[in-house]
Amino acid sequence: MKRILIVLTLGLFIANNSFSQNGEDSDYLMISEKMTDLALSEGKAYEMLRTLCLDVGPRLSGSSEAAAAVEWGRQTMINSELDNVFLQDVYVPHWVRGSIETATLLNSSSLGTIELTVCALGRSVGTPEPGVTGDVVEVNGFDELRALGDKVKGKIVFYNRPMDSRKRNTFEAYSGAVDQRSSGAIEAAKFGAVAVLVRSMTTRLDDVPHTGAMRDYAEGITKIPAAAISTVDANLLSSALKTDGVVSVNLRLSCKTLPDVLSANVIGEIIGTELPDEVILVGGHLDSWDKGHGAHDDGSGCVQSIEALRLIKAMGLKPKRTIRAVLYMNEENGMRGGQVYADSVKQSGPKHVAAIESDRGGLAPRGLTIKAELESPELQSIAKWSYLFEGIDADKFIPGYGGVDISTLEPLGTLLMGLSVDPNRYFDYHHSDNDTFDKVNERELELGAVVMAMMSYVLAMEGI
């Protein structure tokens, strides 16, 4: 009964809360409410995202669009009146998709010769010009692959284990399936497969392939081409295999890796009034895949990070510690930006007290995940502020993952947090042509910025 009563007597609970370290809690609640008013009436994240998506577009590391995105980030931070806007050099991989990516099902007795909807996985090698042709062997994962062993030699391995749609949190479903994409080619190559097709990482049945990165090959393994296949065509291919017994596919990919390119992380700050050398970081990643607009992944996290600082300034707040927005470059296929950033902090500081990453889409915020144990003082020190977000239904503060880019700060003692959002829609869009600006709801995006702004502000005032 306790939880029900507490939910039902919310107002009373807020009035009576006794978390105060310094008697300022009612001020924080008032600030949170006013900031939410401001964000819902005059927030700028959505307009920032419009320009990033529609003027800059998708921005794969090393591309000219990524260079334009760096300039967009710098200028947007300046326009938002952040202090100390600067770029941090990052050399990034330069993988390009090229113009050719086809998978042709050949002479299927049930379907004839038809085109399947595929796209190269990021970092894949291309095929020779005529493509690679082989019989298709379907597996649901590495155990089945290893059981087949040398029988996949000369074949195209087709990983077709779906994300488990029963998972309440789709990120868990993703984690349970993504090894096929990240390591599928590497494992299949060990047994002499000539290529891999990987079922797209989405719980939907849709007709677009969802790309994504692969891990590094170990030395000595010959790289093989790898492509994502739409879930609709994955089902089609699987049914053809069942019907026909043997099917073969010709896969053509013109993707390739060019020399590294100089790019940048984009950084802006509000300098702390009392402890300027202690930093609370908010961030997202500026690069995206070359599909859709990179709207949810992770244009949203970028604009929320900038908007968090803009909101704090627009409210006339003066945080004691420095709050820094970092737009990381190259999260998708290299994580170079996160490495460079942490290396620079390690070498010359400043001390990073806490970091909040937004990289789960610009969807309705639900709270924060905190990289700390359930009973730990670190978790409690963050979770005690959750009441500030009850009014926008974003007060679930639970142990969990921080984020890919900020993970490099963990060895330096930084407490990591991730903006947690409603998980139902994200993988409808993720890494595909579906990830466009029109899929973002203005209110949801702006409310996420409030969580980042208010949480970073409180931590800048109170520490952890």
Q: Is residue 369 involved in binding a second copy (CB under 8 A)? A: no
For residue 101, report the phi and psi dihedrals to the nearest 5 degrees: -155, 105
Cα–Cα distance between 313 and 175 in angstroms, integer?
38
Return the SS3 of 133: strand
Closest CA to 425 of 263, 249, 202: 202
State in angstroms the smallest separation of the CB of 24 from a second copy: 17
- The reply to whether 393 sits near a second copy by the rule CB under 8 A is yes
Could you say which of 101, 278, 331, 444 is catalytic? 331
Among 261, 398, 404, 464, binds a second copy (CB under 8 A): 398
| Adjacent-strand bridge partners of 368 | 397, 419
Pick between residue 61 and residue 231 the one whose CB is nearest to a second copy.
231
Q: Which of 22, 147, 150, 166 binds a second copy (CB under 8 A)?
A: 166
6, β-bridge pairs? none
Residue 280's region, left for phi above 0, alpha for psi from -120 to 50, else beta, is: beta
Applying CB under 8 A, which of residues 22, 168, 259, 316 lies at the interface with a second copy? 168
Q: By CB neighbour count within 10 A (0-12 exposed, 13-18 middle, 19+ buried), where does 128 fall?
A: exposed
The stretch among 116-124, 288-296, 330-338, 391-399 that binds a second copy (CB under 8 A) is 391-399
Smallest separation (angstroms) from a second copy to the CB of 314: 15
Whose tokens are 């043997």? That residue is 246
357: annotated active-site residue: no
d(CA 114, CA 111): 7
**Residue 191 binding a second copy, by CB under 8 A:** no
Determine, following the binding rule CB under 8 A, whether residue 4 of this chain makes contact with a second copy.
yes
Among 151, 215, 346, 443, the residue binding a second copy under the rule CB under 8 A is 443
Task: Give the range of 35-43, 144-152, 265-273, 320-328 binding a second copy by CB under 8 A.
Answer: 35-43
Nearer to a second copy by Cβ, of 336 and 384: the residue is 384
Residue 102 CA from chain centroid, whole number: 27
218 binds a second copy (CB under 8 A): no
Residue 374 within binding range of a second copy, rule CB under 8 A: yes
CA separation (Å) from 42 to 310, 316, 364? 11, 15, 18
Residue type at position 30: M
The CA dihedral of 311, 402, 206, 211, to the nearest 10 degrees, is 100
Q: Which of 26, 239, 273, 424 binds a second copy (CB under 8 A)?
A: 424
How many residues at the interface with a second copy, by CB under 8 A?
Answer: 48
Q: In the set 21, 30, 37, 110, which binds a second copy (CB under 8 A)?
A: 37
Q: 327: which strand partners?
A: 266, 284
Regarding 305 and contact with a second copy (CB under 8 A), the answer is: no
* 246 forms part of the interface with a second copy (CB under 8 A): no
The encoded tokens of residue 327 equal 């737009």
Among 3, 22, 99, 348, binds a second copy (CB under 8 A): 3
Burial annotation 52-73 (CB, 10 A radius, 16+ → b, else e): bbeebbbbbbbbebbbebbebb
Per rule CB under 8 A, is residue 379 in the interface with a second copy? Answer: yes
367: β partners:
396, 420
Does position 210 interact with a second copy (CB under 8 A)? The reply is no
Q: Rule CB under 8 A: which residues touch a second copy?
A: 1-4, 6-9, 13, 18-19, 36-37, 40-41, 165-168, 170, 203-204, 364, 366, 374, 379-380, 383-384, 386-387, 391-393, 395-399, 422, 424-425, 428, 441-444, 447
